[in-house]
Copies of this chain bind each other. A is one copy, B any other.
């Protein structure tokens, strides 16, 4: 089987595995599935959960699209007039309880073709990152330790490199703070002296396979912790920062909005209930303030 079909089959299975596990943890809501077609070629399978016992809103989406490379993307990749294939799994989970962090993950594969249909370029990209509203150091350390273990199986430098790129990518420039406590972010993973495409496939799927182990233990540990209205308010205010990042800075979201992607699948990443208060600052010495300080200066977790 060629690499693109193999990877697409992989993310189909991974979507099933992840949604089944999340439903089991939630115990109340199930994922609603929407199949959609892209007029220019390909389509996707969107799965969204809402108003669950644990998960207030979340999406675990796969898509595989192909055809002429859109003009807006030609410039981005520095090519003219090419055909492309892209597939990937994207997920964002917004739990109800403010002590359970939001999580985002994405694993994707891309091919570019010449007019004869030969592959002229191909690469993987992706990552996973955690956005807590209250910071339990041990949770961040757990998430990062699983990320590190998956990386270390494939290259001694990957974790340090991709952790750093994650902090840089999910930086909310206009707020001068990170979106969350990070994780991994990698892109343009192409064949080189050390890694052929098969080796990259093994790396990316290793990270994909690590997702549930990185996230679910944190959910289980925090989902029943009692919270009050002020803690929920804080979560909703911080979700505002999540919205700001996704709509102002996130390349994937903006690319989707500007190339006529399926809006509802793209914007499933936005949290269900969000607040903006004018010039809000957490109390000095509070747990809320401690989170913000860590986000302003990303730290080592392993």
Kindly list chain B residues whose C-beta atoms are within 8 Å of the C-beta of A278.
32, 48, 50, 57, 59, 264, 268
Q: Which segment, of A101-109, A180-188, A269-277, faces chain B?
A: A269-277
Kindly list chain B residues whose C-beta atoms are within 8 Å of the C-beta of A257.
173-174, 248
Interface residues in chain A, defined as those with a beta carbon under 8 Å from any beta carbon in chain B? 32, 34, 48, 50, 57, 59, 173-175, 236, 240, 243-244, 247-248, 254, 257-258, 263-264, 267-268, 270-279
Kindly list chain B residues whose C-beta atoms are within 8 Å of the C-beta of A175.
263
Docked Cα-Cα span, A123 to B175, in Å, equals: 31
The reply to whether B276 and A274 contact each other, CB–CB distance below 8 Å, is yes
Kindly list chain B residues whose C-beta atoms are within 8 Å of the C-beta of A273.
236, 273-275
Docked Cα-Cα span, A240 to B269, in Å, equals: 13
Known: A174-B263, A175-B263, A273-B273. A279 touches B248 (CB 8 A): no
Interchain CB contact (< 8 A) of A248 among B174, B240, B254: B254
Interchain CB contact (< 8 A) of A272 among B50, B254, B258, B276: B276
